[in-house]
A and B are shown apart, each in its own frame.
Chain A
């Protein structure tokens, strides 16, 4: 194992309350030492990265990505998806189970983490909550957890039946796993391809009402309250409506363990960005109204939002070059998250850098209990992102490390360029 010294940078580690000029030494994949500026540049046998003028922060943690393996390698592979993650500054990604077959077994969970997959950063599988994500038979959570699963979900599909969701929450609580819910009452969204409102009417598209999300979140919170004694942890994926966020806020006030994430596209874009049937603005949950978008920003400001997650959902080019109603849901996001968060959350809306980074690392890591991730205290994993906080650049989808190019952010101005990404002590992006 090499020894790596990152010297001369501004070390921002929100979990440790650190924001100061520091050198950091990574040894055997872990953080070995933190010292004053210039102190570690002659560390014995260390390769040195000169971080003068750069921010040195915990590697980013994305708790919602689709890496498409097993079974959909034409869209993305674990190797290409994690290469995109590394390029975006992410060192930990939680991979959703809607693969082919669905990841509902310890075998697939282990397969995804095997070295043969060629992952550049750490992959944490999220296993299916029910067999085949069909919402009928509950999986063996203890076995999945010991195989490495960090949460359970039927992402892409909601767990509709009250009884099944209650059973899922209870069973997951017994083994200490989080239940991630894709909150959508699919009975209200049949045939719909965007948010329900004046824009969907104008475009002649069937719309998904905001209540399809919020009613499911409210139902789930009711179940968490009923099961209060067993302390279930509900995590609401890709929250997109003001009403759902309000329900989460209230649940927290009531002392329930309910967390939520918001994607960059839901705090930046609205249904207007569908434009004239741009399939790169089609995802589920859909882009919502300006009022909902504003509520996401408020939620980030006031702290009810626990994490920024990308819902990185790669698709092959030909799958998106079809009729809007027929195109699959989802956009990529791993390479644009940091640049958008710094450009908008930090620079435009004045959220302190440490808080933005916390939403992208410390908080999501804590939320899923990823020990030693999302922080750079001595003994933690040597997961680091080094970026130039002042660099302005333009994102070009054609240059993506992902197999897919389906992004609405092609050609957008970004702030903060990743110089190096280091995963467990190894430079995985940026070279020497």
Chain B
């Protein structure tokens, strides 16, 4: 039976998309999207300022404030860097890791967060293997929560330190950023984009300061929908062609722990996507090379490139300290925090 109902397909109204109430706390940094461009700029300026500050003066910025590091995943760089950044500002830190706490006994993230709050934690830095965990923790505790990596989702402080590193090389002397600071600059991100929180945060941050992001990798690790995550994101599957267009080259690790049954021919991967000295010299002889670490030498990058003159990999690590000082200062002092 054919009902006599006019088709109104194109003007049909439907329930609106939900409005987010995150972040609840102005000091939180859950996503790079929580920051305005001006907010990013302020963080970069404060990072430089704190980096150059007299250590004795710096020690008073967050003197005796209590910060908890809650880590559900192993980490070298991020954990140490956050911890040193907090301590450089005079804060007291405590580390809770999933393997040596009541999390092993089945305590939920919510209860762990509430317990830390009851112990006087004023901010929580969270690394978690599940995407979105930082949002749950912030909603449960209403404390400033710093997302230090949630599953395959975001790693905002990494994107900020990558931006600082790129600026040092391509816009030396510049303190802050504006929407056109990186106009004309192409940053390529190569490798396991699908499972990478570093890629997601960079893809969302860099175009907002004028850069074009070029994603490179095989279909299994770089689905077409990645280009639809935001503006100024494109895909170029040919590694050499992508290199030739880029002033900054970011390499990513193949995340064996997240492949979940995906079959990948590693020899073929290396043939197509490994950053070698030869390739770099041929296609991007002046580009700055970045890698969030941990690097697997001989896999996505050769030892020669990692240790070479174009590499800024260790600068990134050092920049992490400065950025995280600024982020923690904002977390515990900012009134509106440059919120988006």
Per the 8 Å Cβ criterion, residues 275-301 of A in contact with B are 275-278, 290, 293-294, 297-298, 301
Q: Is B299 an interface residue (CB 8 A)?
A: no
Cβ contact of A206, chosen from B22, B109, B128, B260, cutoff 8 A: B260
| Given A272-B17, A293-B14, A303-B1; A318-B108 close (CB under 8 Å) | yes
Per the 8 Å Cβ criterion, residues 199-215 of A in contact with B are 201-206
**16 CB-based A-B contacts, threshold 8 Å:** A198-B225, A198-B229, A201-B223, A204-B150, A204-B152, A277-B135, A290-B14, A303-B2, A318-B108, A321-B136, A322-B108, A324-B130, A324-B132, A325-B151, A326-B130, A351-B5
Per the 8 Å Cβ criterion, residues 11-36 of B in contact with A are 12-15, 17-18, 20, 22
| Given A201-B223, A201-B229; A321-B18 close (CB under 8 Å) | no
A298 to B140 CA separation, bound complex (whole angstroms): 40
B22: A residues at CB distance < 8 A: 276
Residues of B in contact with A (beta carbons under 8 Å apart): 1-3, 5-9, 12-15, 17-18, 20, 22, 108-110, 128, 130-133, 135-136, 140, 150-154, 194, 197, 200, 223, 225-226, 228-229, 260-261
Give chain B nearest CB distance to A27 CB in angstroms: 34
Known A201-B223, A201-B229; 7 more pairs at CB < 8 Å: A205-B153, A269-B15, A321-B108, A321-B110, A321-B136, A321-B140, A349-B8
Cβ contact of A275, chosen from B12, B18, B226, cutoff 8 A: B18
Q: Is A157 an interface residue (CB 8 A)?
A: no
A348: B residues at CB distance < 8 A: 12-13
Q: Is A28 an interface residue (CB 8 A)?
A: no
Is the pair A277, B15 in contact by a Cβ cutoff of 8 Å?
no
A389: B residues at CB distance < 8 A: none
Q: Which secondary structure characterizes the binding site on chain B?
A: loop
Q: Is A162 an interface residue (CB 8 A)?
A: no
Cβ contact of A276, chosen from B108, B135, B194, B261, cutoff 8 A: B135
Q: Is A117 an interface residue (CB 8 A)?
A: no
| Given A190-B261, A272-B17, A301-B3; A325-B226 close (CB under 8 Å) | no
A198: B residues at CB distance < 8 A: 225, 228-229
A278: B residues at CB distance < 8 A: 18
Q: How many interface residues does A have (CB within 8 Å)? A: 41
A190 to B261 CA separation, bound complex (whole angstroms): 9
Per the 8 Å Cβ criterion, residues 253-275 of A in contact with B are 268-270, 272-273, 275
Give chain B nearest CB distance to A356 CB in angstroms: 12
A276: B residues at CB distance < 8 A: 20, 22, 132, 135
Question: Per-residue CB proximity of A351-378 to B under 8 Å, as 1/0?
Answer: 1000100000000000000000000000
Is the pair B9, A277 in contact by a Cβ cutoff of 8 Å?
no
B260: A residues at CB distance < 8 A: 190-191, 206
A324 to B5 CA separation, bound complex (whole angstroms): 40
Q: Which secondary structure characterizes the binding site on chain A?
A: loop
A206 to B128 CA separation, bound complex (whole angstroms): 16
A204: B residues at CB distance < 8 A: 131-132, 150-154, 197, 200
Cβ contact of A277, chosen from B5, B136, B194, B226, cutoff 8 A: B136
Q: Is A350 an interface residue (CB 8 A)?
A: yes
A294: B residues at CB distance < 8 A: 9, 12, 14
Nearest A residue (CB) for B196: A204
B2: A residues at CB distance < 8 A: 302-303
Q: Is A197 an interface residue (CB 8 A)?
A: yes
Is the pair B136, A322 in contact by a Cβ cutoff of 8 Å?
yes
Give chain A nearest CB distance to B204 CB in angstroms: 9
Cβ contact of B136, chosen from A206, A297, A323, A412, cutoff 8 A: A323
Closest 10 CB pairs of A and B: A204-B153, A277-B132, A204-B152, A204-B131, A323-B130, A198-B228, A198-B225, A272-B17, A275-B18, A324-B132
Cβ contact of B130, chosen from A301, A318, A325, cutoff 8 A: A325
Is the pair B131, A205 in contact by a Cβ cutoff of 8 Å?
yes
A302: B residues at CB distance < 8 A: 2-3
Nearest B residue (CB) for A349: B12
Cβ contact of A197, chosen from B132, B225, B261, cutoff 8 A: B225
Cβ contact of A323, chosen from B17, B109, B261, cutoff 8 A: B109
B194: A residues at CB distance < 8 A: 201
Interface centre among A276, A301, A325 (most CB of B within 10 A): A276
Nearest B residue (CB) for A409: B15
Is the pair B18, A202 in contact by a Cβ cutoff of 8 Å?
no
B5: A residues at CB distance < 8 A: 301, 350-351
Nearest A residue (CB) for B30: A276
A278 to B140 CA separation, bound complex (whole angstroms): 13
| Given A204-B152, A206-B260, A322-B108; A272-B133 close (CB under 8 Å) | no
Give chain B nearest CB distance to A359 CB in angstroms: 12
Give chain B nearest CB distance to A206 CB in angstroms: 7
Nearest B residue (CB) for A281: B18
Is the pair B131, A277 in contact by a Cβ cutoff of 8 Å?
yes
B150: A residues at CB distance < 8 A: 204
Cβ contact of A268, chosen from B14, B152, B225, cutoff 8 A: B14
Cβ contact of A272, chosen from B18, B135, B153, B226, cutoff 8 A: B18
A301: B residues at CB distance < 8 A: 3, 5, 7
A270 to B17 CA separation, bound complex (whole angstroms): 8
Interface centre among A191, A201, A206, A294 (most CB of B within 10 A): A201
A355: B residues at CB distance < 8 A: 3
Is the pair B9, A298 in contact by a Cβ cutoff of 8 Å?
yes
A318 to B114 CA separation, bound complex (whole angstroms): 14
Is the pair A297, B108 in contact by a Cβ cutoff of 8 Å?
no
Question: Per-residue CB proximity of A389-418 to B under 8 Å, as 1/0?
Answer: 000000000000000000000001000000
B109: A residues at CB distance < 8 A: 322-323
